[in-house]
Structure 1
Amino acid sequence: MPRLILLRHAKSAWDDPALADHDRPLNRRGRAAARLMAKPVAEAAPDLVLCSTARRTRETVEHMVDAGAFPAGRVVHDAALYHAAPAAILAVVGIHAAGHAAVMVVGHNPGLHELAASMATAGDDRARTALAAKFPTAALAVLDLAGPGWRPGDARLTRFVTPRMLEAAAGQ
């Protein structure tokens, strides 16, 4: 059963109005969140990581690699993921996913949130409620698909976690 893992980039900086959106880096909070989310990402076990070419997504992935979530050799950057709609995200997955059981996409809202919501037709009720409400920066959705393809619907949301959830669980 294929697994689709969706990770929104961590919090980005807005302090330089001269920077193009594509070039915005992570801020301090974003860097910390990326490191914090490395453990749940590692537990989801992606064997391929598809990453938008935006600086904030690339930096999110770099912090996760540094924290041991997955090796850098599993990462493929694809410009088509930059602010992609759900259908475009699935098209990119379809292009790269052959031979991979667990594909992670690191990208942007609203496309990631819309894709996760459209695919999560079953799963943990609390996770589905949290996902329906919001897909914040550095949020992670783990979807186990019922069939062999990478199509909307018929996926079980097995985990939805955000940095705030992890901080609350740790008493921070």
Structure 2
Amino acid sequence: MMKTLYILRHAKSSWKFEGLSDQDRPLNKRGREDAQLMGQELASRGLKPDLILASPAVRALTTATLVGKELGYQPEDIVLDERVYAAGIKDLMEVVQETPKDVQSLLLVGHNEGISDFANELSPENLARLPTAGIVALQFDCDNWTEISRDNADFLFFDFPKNYK
């Protein structure tokens, strides 16, 4: 069995609304366009993760929703996990390792710096810091999410919006 993990940093957020909390910041216009673009690119590869799991922060949830829409997901099918917001490597590993065994592919939508650090922790390839709406795909030779590690990982791809502009 194999497990496939797609690690996605949320798209570009807006700083226009000064009174908003960090969790409530929305995507800006470019962010909405980039999230849709990356969803289209994933769809063109024929990818449809079994589960989309995201931070509940507005910018991460909106990114997950826009990407998910391109992959045929309904917004209510996206699972939110508070631990993904402001998470480090250990937190993200815990969240992913709790994924049910029957889920073969998972799209995780989170925030930097944690999401980039997590991708680099698991990837056999050295990765740059994930740009907004950047996605890394890794495949693991294991039966259970508790077994994922760099030692059983294969790097599939690293993609981001500027590849298409």
TM-score category of the 2 structures, normalised to the smaller one: 0.7 to 0.9
Matched, 1:79 2:76: no
Gaps of 5+ in 1: 122-127, 168-172
CA positional deviation for 1:104: 0.9
Alignment RMSD, CA only? 1.6
Q: Could you tell me which amino acid in structure 1 is paired with residue 113 of structure 2?
A: P
- The letter of the residue matching 1:120 is S
Structure 1 CA distance for aligned equivalents of residues 80 and 72 of structure 2: 15
TM score, norm. by length of structure 2: 0.88
How far apart, CA to CA, are the structure 1 residues paired with 2:72 and 2:130? 22
User: Hey, which bits of structure 1, 4+ residues long, moved more than 6 A?
Assistant: none
**1:64: how far off?**
2.1
2:130 corresponding residue in structure 1: 135
Equivalent position SS for 1:133: coil
Residue 98 of structure 1 and its aligned partner are, at CA, apart by: 2.5
Describe how 1:63-78 pairs up with structure 2 within 5 A. 63-66=66-69, 68-72=70-74, 74-78=77-81
Counterpart of 1:48 in structure 2 is 51
The percent of aligned pairs where both chains have the same amino acid is 34
Aligned-partner residue type, residue 71 of structure 2: A
Distance 2:41 2:86 in 1: 24
The number of equivalent residue pairs is 158
Cα distance per residue 1:14-59 (max 9 Å; x no partner): 1122111100000000000011001233333211000100000111
| Contact 1:140–1:161 (CA under 8 A) maintained in structure 2 | yes
Given that residues 115 and 152 in structure 1 are in contact (C-alpha distance below 8 angstroms), is that contact kept between their aligned partners in structure 2?
A: no
Q: Is the 8 A contact 2:52 2:68 kept in 1?
A: no
Structure 2's unaligned 5+ residue stretches are none
Q: Is the 8 A contact 1:41 1:140 kept in 2?
A: no
